[in-house]
C-alpha cells in the first residue's frame, strides 16, 4: 500500500512552490491528499491541487461530513507535511485550535508532522514564533529552519521556504524511520555535529588541508533532523547546501572550530565530531604570499592543534563529577561520538585511541584511494567505551549515520536515568549543621 501523505498548504506567497513538492511525492508513489487552508486558495487554486494530487480538495469541516474527514485524514496518514507553514498556522497548532480542516487534521494525526516554515524575517525571529517552534519541537514535530534569501518585494533574509527537493528529502528520511510515528527517538534533543575539513593557512593564498567534503557530517545532521533533533552544524569549508532544518555555523581553522564547538556543546545532549580536524598548523603564517624563487623553499615548521574531542570528553567527565560547579563544562549526561580516519584498521590501536579520547563511541573508517572522503558512501566499525563493537557495511552515508544514531539513542536514555538518580540522591542528603 502506498504511503499516505497529507500535504497542508497555508496562505503564504510561497504556496506555489509546494506544487513541485507535490509532484515529487506523487511521482515516487505516495498517495497525497492536499489540505489547504481557505486563504491558501487565494495563492494557488483548488483545481491545481486536485489535478496534481488526483484527489478532490476540501478546506472546510463540512464537505463530506459523513466521512468525518477532520478525524479520518489524520488517523490514516503516515506523514503530514505543512509547506509553507506560516507563523499563524504554527501558533494555532501550538494552541490546539481546530477551526479548519488542516488544523483539525493536525490535532488527530498520530504520525510524524513536518513543518516547513516560510514568512518574513521579522515574523520568524519574533519571540512568539520562536517559542511556538520550540514547543512544536518539544512535542515531537519536525520543524525545518527556513532558508535565507530573497523574500517578497525587496526584502531578503531568513524566512524563505526551503527548496522542494530539500523538503522532499527530509520527508523521505522521516518515512524511512518507520510509519505511524516511530523513529522520533531524538525529539527534543539538541545535537551538535562538526563537518568538513579544517584549513590551516600558510599565507593569504595557501593552506594545509584535507579532502573531507562534509558529506558524512551533513548526513548525520539530516538524519538527526528526521529523528526530531534540534541540530547545530559546525561546518569547516563545506560547499554543500545547508541541511534543511539545521543551524549552520561556518568556520575555517581548527582553532575556530574548537571555540565554536565547545561553546555550542555546553548544553547539547549529543556531540558528533565528524569533521576532519587538522592535527597540526604552521607555526607561523606569512602576512604576504610566499614568493617562489630560485632557491629551495624553507621548511614549514608545524605546531600541534588542540584535540577538540579529548577536550570535550574531559569537560563532560569533569562536569559529571562536579555537577553545577563548572558553568562552562559540558552537560554531564552528554553522549560524545568521535571519528577516526585511518588508512589501516589496527583494532588494538583503535581501542587505545578510544580510551585516550574518552568518548562514548569512536567511528573508525578507512580513508584514501577513493574511500570515504568526497564519496556518497562509507563503511566503518564503531567501537564503544562499554566494549561493544558494531560493523557497518559499505553503503550510503545516511545509513551509517542512522546506525550510529541507533547506538546513541539508548545511551542518551541511560545517561539521563543515571543523572536523574544521582541528582535525587543529592537532593535527599541531610543538611549539615
18, 156, 211, 223 from 278: Cα distances, Å:
42, 36, 11, 26
Residue 70 dihedral angles phi and psi, to the nearest 5°: -70, -15
DSSP conformation class of 96 = T
Q: How far apart are CA 256 and CA 253, in angstroms?
A: 5
Closest by CA to 274, choosing from 314, 205, 219, is 219
Query: What are the helix and strand counts (H, E) for the chain?
Result: 13, 19
Q: Is 43 exposed, middle or buried (0-12, 13-18, 19+ CB in 10 A)?
A: middle
Residue 99 CB neighbours (<10 A): 12
Catalytic residue among 210, 305, 365, 378: 210
Bridging pattern class, strands 79-85 and 113-117: parallel
- DSSP run (H or E) holding 222: helix 215-226
* CA–CA gap between residue 145 and residue 329 (Å, rounded): 28
For residues 356, 358, 362, 365, the Cα torsion angle rounded to the nearest 10 degrees is -30
Catalytic residue check, 210? yes
Per-residue cell: 87: 507563523
Rounded to an integer, what distance in angstroms lies between the CA atom of residue 151 and that of residue 351?
51
Name the residues annotated as catalytic.
Answer: 210
Amino acid at each position: 500500500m502506498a504511503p499516505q501523505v497529507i500535504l497542508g498548504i497555508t496562505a503564504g506567497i510561497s504556496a506555489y512552490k509546494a506544487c513541485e513538492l507535490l509532484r515529487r511525492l506523487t511521482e515516487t508513489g505516495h498517495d497525497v491528499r492536499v489540505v489547504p487552508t481557505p486563504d491558501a486558495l487565494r495563492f494557488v487554486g483548488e483545481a491545481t491541487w486536485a489535478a496534481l494530487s488526483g484527489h478532490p480538495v476540501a478546506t472546510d469541516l463540512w464537505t463530506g461530513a459523513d466521512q468525518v474527514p477532520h478525524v479520518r485524514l489524520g488517523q490514516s496518514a503516515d506523514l503530514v507535511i505543512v509547506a509553507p507553514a506560516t507563523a499563524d498556522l504554527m501558533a494555532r497548532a501550538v494552541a490546539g485550535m481546530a477551526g479548519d480542516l488542516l488544523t483539525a487534521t493536525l490535532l488527530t494525526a498520530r504520525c510524524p508532522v513536518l513543518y516547513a516554515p516560510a514568512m518574513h524575517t521579522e515574523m520568524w525571529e519574533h519571540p512568539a514564533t520562536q517559542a511556538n517552534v520550540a514547543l512544536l519541537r518539544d512535542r515531537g514535530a519536525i520543524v525545518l529552519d527556513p532558508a535565507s534569501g530573497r523574500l517578497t518585494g525587496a526584502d531578503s533574509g531568513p524566512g524563505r521556504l526551503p527548496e522542494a527537493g530539500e523538503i522532499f528529502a527530509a520527508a523521505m528520511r522521516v518515512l524511512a524511520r518507520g510509519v505511524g510515528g516511530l523513529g522520533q527517538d531524538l525529539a527534543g534533543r539538541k545535537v551538535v555535529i562538526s563537518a568538513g575539513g579544517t584549513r590551516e593557512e600558510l599565507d593569504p593564498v595557501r593552506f594545509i588541508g584535507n579532502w573531507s567534503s562534509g558529506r558524512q557530517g551533513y548526513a548525520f545532521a539530516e538524519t538527526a533532523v528526521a529523528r526530531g533533533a534540534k541540530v547545530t552544524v559546525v561546518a569547516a569549508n563545506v560547499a554543500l547546501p545547508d541541511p534543511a532544518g539545521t543551524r549552520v555555523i561556518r568556520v575555517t581553522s581548527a582553532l575556530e572550530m574548537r571555540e565554536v564547538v565547545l561553546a555550542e556543546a555546553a548544553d547539547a545532549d549529543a556531540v558528533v565530531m565528524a569533521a576532519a580536524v587538522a592535527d597540526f598548523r604552521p607555526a607561523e603564517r606569512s602576512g604576504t604570499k610566499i614568493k617562489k624563487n630560485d632557491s629551495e623553499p624553507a621548511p614549514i615548521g608545524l605546531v600541534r592543534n588542540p584535540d577538540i574531542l579529548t577536550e570535550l570528553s574531559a569537560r563532560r567527565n569533569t562536569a559529571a563529577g562536579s555537577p553545577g560547579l563548572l558553568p562552562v563544562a559540558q552537560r554531564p549526561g552528554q553522549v560524545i561520538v568521535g571519528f577516526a580516519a585511518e588508512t589501516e584498521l589496527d583494532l588494538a590501536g583503535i581501542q587505545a585511541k578510544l580510551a585516550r579520547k574518552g568518548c562514548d563511541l569512536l567511528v573508525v573508517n578507512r580513508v584514501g584511494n577513493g574511500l570515504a572522503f568526497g564519496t556518497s558512501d562509507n563503511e566503518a566499525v564503531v567501537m564503544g567505551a562499554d566494549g561493544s563493537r558494531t560493523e557497518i557495511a559499505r553503503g550510503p552515508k545516511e545509513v551509517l549515520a542512522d546506525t550510529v544514531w541507533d547506538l546513541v539513542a539508548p545511551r542518551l536514555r541511560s545517561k539521563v536515568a543515571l543523572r536523574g538518580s544521582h541528582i535525587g540522591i543529592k537532593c535527599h542528603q541531610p543538611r549539615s549543621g
